[in-house]
Amino acid sequence: MPLAPAASLPPAVREPGPMVLVVEDEPGIADILIAYLQRDGLRTCTAADGPAALEVFRRMRPELVLLDIHLPGMDGIDVLKHIRGDGDTPVIMVTALADDVDKLLALRMGADDYVVKPYSPAEVVARVRAVLRRTGGAARAQAQAAAPIRVGRLEIDTQAHIALSRDDGGALQPLPLTLTEFRLLACLAAQPRRCFSRGHLIETCLPESDALDRVIDSHLSKLRRKLQDAGNGELIETVRGVGYRLWPGA
């Protein structure tokens, strides 16, 4: 499908968005891609060969790279290797219709997606947005997962796998929890005030077990006692006929 003329683009979006590096050695194609990306609210920078792509990438630090495989100076696969050696910046490869080997190699090297020439520039913009959403969501989820959960006096670090409780003097003291108790506390504390059914807690915290409801009740009873002994009061509530919730300030 031939590229549409830039004159047919929709009205410009005012707010600038993430930066996309367009690596394309055909100036006419690069210009139209840049125009479409900019009209969708994305910022752009460009390079026409492999060495220039790496120089612009290191200088501009784009949020995504749109990378043609067939480039002068250094091909796109080698450029992708260097980018992957530098970090996890999303990369969409651009390849010719017959280059199945190149497509597979690019994906194995860590490309996030690929588009095939000839293409619609509007489709390329849609792919760029989809990859940015996906990788941005993953990054946010990873950052959230790494951050300790803080509820009341509790601080739960799921990365270090430790639960701490602040004493009356303000010092954090470790809670002597079993693996299942830690999982239950982390699950409840991640969404305070939400009521979790016993079935959900079994599936989430004891996925390798055939535990019955009363087993969860036993674990939670012991967890409650340890939280109370550490000065946290009745932090875990029973919701009759439904399950359990963690209620700060209870």
Could you tell me the two tokens for 235?
A: 């932090």
Strands 19-23 and 43-47, how do they pair? parallel
- Residues with Cβ < 8 Å from 161, sequence gap 6 or more? 182
pLDDT of residue 41: 86
- Which SS3 state, helix, strand or coil, does residue 248 take? coil
Rounded Cα distance between 42 and 15, Å, is 8
How far apart, in Å, are the Cα atoms of 3 and each of 81, 121, 185?
29, 6, 55
C-beta separation of 20 from 44 below 8 A: yes
For the chain, 250 residues long, the average pLDDT of each consecutive 10-residue run is 45 59 93 90 92 92 92 91 88 76 70 86 91 73 69 88 90 93 91 87 76 83 94 91 84
Nearest to 163 by CA among 144, 180, 185, 142: 185
Among 1.10.8.190, 1.10.3720.10, 3.40.1010.20, 1.10.10.10, what is the CATH number of 149-246? 1.10.10.10
> What is 6-143's CATH superfamily?
Response regulator (3.40.50.2300)
162 strand-pairing partners: 157
The domain segmentation of the chain, as residue ranges, is 6-143, 149-246
Whether pTM exceeds 0.85: no
pLDDT of residue 146: 65
**C-beta pairs of 121-124 under 8 Å, 24+ apart in sequence:** 121/3, 121/4, 121/32, 121/33, 121/36, 122/4, 122/36, 124/33, 124/36, 124/66, 124/92
